[in-house]
Amino acid sequence: MQEQTNRQQESILQKENTVYRSLDVSGTFRVFMGDMTGMAEDLRKINHSTPTATAVLGRVAAGASMMGMMAKGEKDRLTLTFNGNGPGGKVVAVADSQGNVKAYMENPTIELPLNQAGKLDVGGAVGRQGMLTVVRDFGFGEPYVGQVKLVSGEIAEDITAYFAASEQMPTAVALGVLVDRDMSVRRAGGFIIQVLPHPDERVLTKLEENIGKLTSFTSLMEEEGDLLGVYERVFEGIQMDPPIVSHPAFRCDCSRERMEQALISLGAKELEDMIREDGKAELVCHFCRRRYLFGKEQLEELAAQLREEKKG
């Protein structure tokens, strides 16, 4: 039964996402630009999220994916945590260096009216009274932790502020999710453009002019039809290196072993209470909602292990 549910879950996670990463030929800026429609739709299905929450999850996941790809080491992991004290609760996304992402939101069934601009109220759901925390874990030693006060809770602006404050890099970030009438994700994605040291002023002026003309990322995708079209439009009149194309995905790395560790960390007494009261334990992964069932015997084994360790 559990096997079956997990297999069903895998079968819904199949849409491809595409990210272009490139530089302009003068080395003035670098760009990550992604069509993350599949990723946002995966998150919606897993979380049964409302349109506002889908927009929150889709934007945070797209941002994390592209930031994850900025890693210097292959084993690096990036975690974005938006803690804005809004009704949607905390939002967390974890990305690896290939841009694969897992994400969750405390309250994905939040319903809010559209904001004053007639858009899904992402900032209202996330909240504005709090922090964005960015953790880069290198797989060894101390992780790097950066923090910035939330600007609007709209995600892209907050990530821009993070790059300005913590990494002193002038950065333009656009992230968007367009939800269809049937609540599925019609378009999702965005870009992160970063100005490099010693920019060519003419290229920079042209880039600013181009960006200044843009509306939203999802409306660009609607107009152009695909990522290549958007890319060519954003960098019109600028000579670009050929982009490196990759296909990140929603991916959760939870496992039975990890869940066992979580149970063990509760301690022997808690485990014994569990055995006495329920005779079993069911753990659900926050990120992918996969269920892990532990029977009485397995719990007893874990409790026995703990008692042994204590003695030893």
Q: Which ranges of 128-197 does DSSP label H, i.e. alpha helix?
A: 156-166
**Tokens in use for 290?**
């996969």
Chosen residue from 112, 125, 288, 302 binding Zn ion by CB under 5 A: 288
Window 74 to 133, contacts with Zn ion (CB under 5 A): none
The smaller minimum CB distance to Zn ion, of residues 21 and 290, is found at: 290
The smaller minimum CB distance to Zn ion, of residues 29 and 287, is found at: 287
**Applying CB under 5 A, does 155 fall inside the site for Zn ion?**
no
Q: Least separation, in Å, of the C-beta of 82 and Zn ion?
A: 20
Q: Which ranges of the chain does DSSP label H, i.e. alpha helix?
A: 2-11, 37-47, 51-68, 122-126, 156-166, 201-213, 217-224, 227-234, 256-264, 268-277, 296-311
Distance between CA atoms of 248 and 255, rounded to whole angstroms? 20
Instruction: Give the single-character DSSP code of 241.
Output: P
Q: Least separation, in Å, of the C-beta of 263 and Zn ion?
A: 15
The smaller minimum CB distance to Zn ion, of residues 252 and 274, is found at: 252
Q: In what order do the strands lie in the sheet with 91-96?
A: 101-105, 91-96, 77-83, 131-137, 144-149
Cα angle 99, 100, 103 (rounded to 5 degrees) comes to 115
The smaller minimum CB distance to Zn ion, of residues 208 and 253, is found at: 253
Binding mask 233-272 for Zn ion (x = CB under 5 A): -------------------x-x------------------
The smaller minimum CB distance to Zn ion, of residues 18 and 65, is found at: 65
Q: Least separation, in Å, of the C-beta of 184 and Zn ion?
A: 22
Q: How far is CA 18 from the centre of its chain?
A: 15
Q: Least separation, in Å, of the C-beta of 59 and Zn ion?
A: 21
Q: Which stretch binds Zn ion (CB under 5 A): 53-61, 69-77, 156-164, 288-296?
A: 288-296
**Applying CB under 5 A, does 285 fall inside the site for Zn ion?**
yes
The smaller minimum CB distance to Zn ion, of residues 101 and 112, is found at: 101
The smaller minimum CB distance to Zn ion, of residues 172 and 259, is found at: 259
Residues shown for the chain: 312
Q: Least separation, in Å, of the C-beta of 292 and Zn ion?
A: 9
The smaller minimum CB distance to Zn ion, of residues 150 and 288, is found at: 288
Distance between CA atoms of 312 and 304, rounded to whole angstroms? 12
Size of the residue set binding Zn ion (CB under 5 A) = 6
**Tokens in use for 271?**
């485990």
**Applying CB under 5 A, does 70 fall inside the site for Zn ion?**
no
Q: How many CA atoms lie within 13 A of 142 on its CB side?
A: 3
| Pairs from 274-283 (Cβ < 8 Å, separation ≥ 24) | 274/299, 275/299, 275/300, 275/303, 283/259
**Applying CB under 5 A, does 287 fall inside the site for Zn ion?**
yes
Q: Least separation, in Å, of the C-beta of 196 and Zn ion?
A: 37
Distance between CA atoms of 221 and 205, rounded to whole angstroms? 24
Q: Which stretch binds Zn ion (CB under 5 A): 29-37, 180-188, 204-212, 277-285?
A: 277-285
Binding site for Zn ion (CB under 5 A): 252, 254, 285, 287-288, 290
